[in-house]
Structure 1
């Protein structure tokens, strides 16, 4: 893990900064035209995925400088320290051992704790065995609803990493089959929860409460509503048969009425946004089947093995981290778009937003000093081809250059072959259009050839010009099965952690989440009582207006 102040004084950083100042550093069109073997030279494979860097400005010299920066920052050593269970989460003095969650039982992972070293692999697999037994019991009918009938629905109540990952994966793998109908509610807004409860039968619904601390305000507010909903239908004495918790706070789960054999825990070396592989993923297994969940873990483990062993020049997470850093830090690109050309991945951008921006949206380095360069960009996205009819205009002709990851799935799970061919054609064409663009001369000539008079063609030419040289990185999955989805998500997890290590920041804390939660206690009290004395004038004015409007 690098020191940000010393890294920017290093020779690789200086070379990259000088390169970034040259306008030719961003030239993609010229590189594409000059090199017919560009795809072969700048695409890489690993863990079943293919990544294509050929439609960026990457060339041999830039790659060498980026790899030298990775060496100077100690990125390979950082990955080894993380996998060894060291305290890579320095501010909280914790390991970040999510890789152990998907490793085989025999992997022997250990985590450093305040009391010494813990057998992480043993702890994880003991809990996985309990989860497997519970999922098997629900699916076989040996674990039933209070009336003796099988469960038909699972409702997951969690927020952030306790919602985004499981919801995204469950939706993405819907084609693998439905064992239980799964619903996810993260927002405390009653408009999220009320309609879900209206559509579910409490007598056939299993409610999962996903909160490590079992104190997360939004989740516990929703859990209290769900508990009342169950009690009204089933009676207080029977609601425990319809509840399970993904938590480490056994005293709180006891008080809530959840039997201890239905509480599934995980350690503090599992961060929320890295936790879908843990008991937080129980809803995935209940909805899609244990075999699907196990295959998801195996795919992530395959990418872990690649990340830890592949040489830097062929290491997918490292190369992706370096190119994203080139775009964000050296070229100053303020955002990047995640564009999955598969509707089943519609929730992937939201998951990636949390992973990227909660991890790396940091302004100080590990020593507490302000960082003097851009770190995490804004992440946004939508599935293709929808994006082409919404914000695609900005990507092509806007004043800001926004890099994009184009995620393609080669083989669909439907029989509509013509549709899929059109989808892939558009994905390929978008990358080409963003890279190559169209000059004003080309635009005018094309207009003139269509029969428009020369004066009108010249008038329209600037509006039909595309600057090009806008980078895209292609990520190709053979198909969207659990294994390759696991590899894709692990790829991004490692990419984010490696960028943080390069920048010298901590990817595993989230202090920025805390201040708003703390202040919400005061604003909630003011909304309830009308006493705004402790609030700043603007917030006090807002509270007064809201109380007046809500009556």
Structure 2
């Protein structure tokens, strides 16, 4: 087994982590006034400040050595050239080609996929314009007013996150809704508000076999035909985004209403494709292109910037440093922008589904920690929920703080209040406050010695909690595209360093296959003998409860 742990840089980092664990960031800032300048990267759309990590120039130098020993630059070239780096599925990984603005030919299996991409974009543009301009009519001749995206995972999280993040840029000509949960409550709530004569359903499924998506799509189709009394209405109200055109047509969707997907685009990296159709319908095709342009800006930065000033590379190395070497098994994503309220969930899937694995691409068990648990919430809400844990728990949780210099919705002095909290939290997490400072402060405020002795220990913040700060100049389509691509490439570099295939998701499959079998048993009321006693007991409880409610 050729483990990463045998690399010389890895061994150096193990030693350095033992030394750095005894340091405090506050001291590192005190001895180096240039720390921010040394450990920050400024790009056209945002600034990345990573100075509030437990690192020195030696740490970064060794991490960069690790990246080179892991051939990050070689693997980067392989990805952009369309080699089959998704080794377990023998597929290329080319979501970057979807936003390539150079018109450069990209050949896979002797086929120029750039032509396919251009045709798909033209189709998205023409269709979204028809919907937005009221030229596409429903079965009764009325224009579309609402679009419902039916998908799950990457077919839902990406478009929904983007449309909600950029809501201030929408002209509200079309109302876009999302259905992902197979719990009937969600689709019932969405359909209740809609007029079937004026609604468009977008069924997004790469394979067109995903149980949750197909179940919701069937319900939507029955709802439509019950109103129109005519199956021909489907062609006016249903479109699909899929790589399995045959399945989509068999489901009942017109061939001309199927938008292409390709097996070289992973679901969680697919919003740049026709999966982004809801984005174009909601915001307009020009803003969808601006989103792609922003992602392409980061693609170029990632390809050509030296590793030491390469933002995705640095973010990936810091994640490996914090999780694998310093042992911090959790990371928070904390947006200080109401518009980004779905970003934490989006990045949770992107990173944990990509790199939450314990087997290397060689098929060997991995003997080191891979990626942390990703979670988060809007910053201000989090301050009054779990920041107590971030500041004073024995468990250290590195965090990414994401905000904007300018707000797209200026209201009185709200944004200055938001930014002051944004800046204060990373400073507090880094510096902390010791017992001596607390005692002096309480004494100056007139508290008694008895009270000070009683509460001072409770007020201690040890600090030394790592954070990255990503400060957008302004949240807009182009900068959001850059932000998303930043994390996509971070995930890619993580995977290379950790020796993980980042582009499959076999961990999703077992539960789904078992659910398919169990559903048949629930409907047939016959329990398979192969189940464990717990599953049998739960199924029997469901049976008996349903019988008693009849």
What is the TM-score of this pair, normalised by structure 1? 0.97
How many equivalent residue pairs?
A: 544
Please state whether the residue corresponding to 2:332 is helix, strand or coil. strand
Deviations 1:5-46 (A, max 9, x none): 342111111111001112546521111222222212211022
Q: CA separation in 1, counterparts of 2:182 and 2:44?
A: 38
> 2:217 is matched with which residue: 208, 219, 223?
223
Contact 2:235–2:257 at 8 Å: present in 1 too?
no
Deviations 1:138-187 (A, max 9, x none): 12222222222221100000000000000000100000022311100111
Q: Which residue of 1 aligns with 2:17?
A: 20
Contact 1:105–1:125 at 8 Å: present in 2 too?
no
Q: CA separation in 1, counterparts of 2:511 and 2:440?
A: 56
Please state whether the residue corresponding to 2:246 is helix, strand or coil. helix
Q: Which residue of 1 aligns with 2:59?
A: 62
Q: Which residue of 2 aligns with 1:159?
A: 152
Between 263-272 and 128-137, report the one with greater CA deviation. Answer: 128-137
Q: Which residue of 2 aligns with 1:212?
A: 206
Gap change, CA 1:244 and 1:26, over 3 Å in 2: farther
Q: Which residue of 2 aligns with 1:360?
A: 355
Gaps of 5+ in 1: none
Q: CA separation in 2, counterparts of 1:535 and 1:26?
A: 52
Q: CA separation in 1, counterparts of 2:252 and 2:44?
A: 43
Please state whether the residue corresponding to 1:534 is helix, strand or coil. coil
Q: Which residue of 1 aligns with 2:187?
A: 193
- Superposed, 1:461-480 pairs within 5 Å as 461-480=456-475
* Cα deviation, residue 521, structure 1: 1.7
* Cα deviation, residue 256, structure 1: 2.5
Q: CA separation in 1, counterparts of 2:23 and 2:222?
A: 58
Deviations 1:334-380 (A, max 9, x none): 11000000010000000001000000011000111110111011000
Q: CA separation in 1, counterparts of 2:412 and 2:401?
A: 20
Contact 1:341–1:406 at 8 Å: present in 2 too?
yes
Q: CA separation in 1, counterparts of 2:541 and 2:410?
A: 55
Contact 1:299–1:483 at 8 Å: present in 2 too?
yes
The answer to whether structure 1 residue 309 and structure 2 residue 304 are counterparts is yes
The answer to whether structure 1 residue 550 and structure 2 residue 546 are counterparts is yes
Q: CA separation in 2, counterparts of 1:135 and 1:35?
A: 53
Between 279-288 and 4-13, report the one with greater CA deviation. Answer: 4-13
Q: CA separation in 2, counterparts of 1:268 and 1:417?
A: 49
Q: Which residue of 2 aligns with 1:78?
A: 75
Between 441-450 and 385-394, report the one with greater CA deviation. Answer: 441-450
Q: Which residue of 1 aligns with 2:367?
A: 372
Q: CA separation in 2, counterparts of 1:324 and 1:463?
A: 30
Q: Which residue of 1 aligns with 2:4?
A: 7
The answer to whether structure 1 residue 127 and structure 2 residue 123 are counterparts is no
Task: Please tell me the root mean square deviation across aligned C-alpha atoms, in Å.
Answer: 1.3
- Superposed, 1:332-347 pairs within 5 Å as 332-347=327-342
Q: Which runs of 4+ in 1 moved over 4 A?
A: 23-26
Contact 1:7–1:72 at 8 Å: present in 2 too?
no
Contact 1:162–1:273 at 8 Å: present in 2 too?
yes
Q: CA separation in 2, counterparts of 1:202 and 1:148?
A: 12
* Cα deviation, residue 550, structure 1: 3.0
> 1:404 is matched with which residue: 370, 374, 399?
399
Gaps of 5+ in 2: none
Contact 1:145–1:205 at 8 Å: present in 2 too?
yes
Q: Which residue of 2 aligns with 1:101?
A: 98
Q: CA separation in 2, counterparts of 1:257 and 1:431?
A: 53
Q: CA separation in 1, counterparts of 2:24 and 2:98?
A: 42
* Cα deviation, residue 444, structure 1: 1.8
> 2:43 is matched with which residue: 41, 46, 69?
46
